[in-house]
Amino acid sequence: MDKKENQDTMTKAGCGFAVFAAVFILLCSINPFVTIGIFWFLAILVLCIY
């Protein structure tokens, strides 16, 4: 993987994280308990996959 590809991957990850953070904050303002539940579920799911 050369530097250019790595940079593109990092940019995509950054954009994905920014979108995720925005959605997370939006959901938190609506219903924090459900959001935290979903967040933990996703975190455990990701840990199991990787």
Give residue-wise pLDDT tens across range 10-19.
888 787 888 8
Residue 20, domain extent: 3-49
- Mean pLDDT for 11-35 is 83
Nearest residue to 16 (alpha-carbon basis) of 47, 48, 42: 42
**Total domain count, the chain:** 1
Assessment of whether the complete model's pTM goes beyond 0.85: no
The CA distance from 37 to 42, in Å, is 9
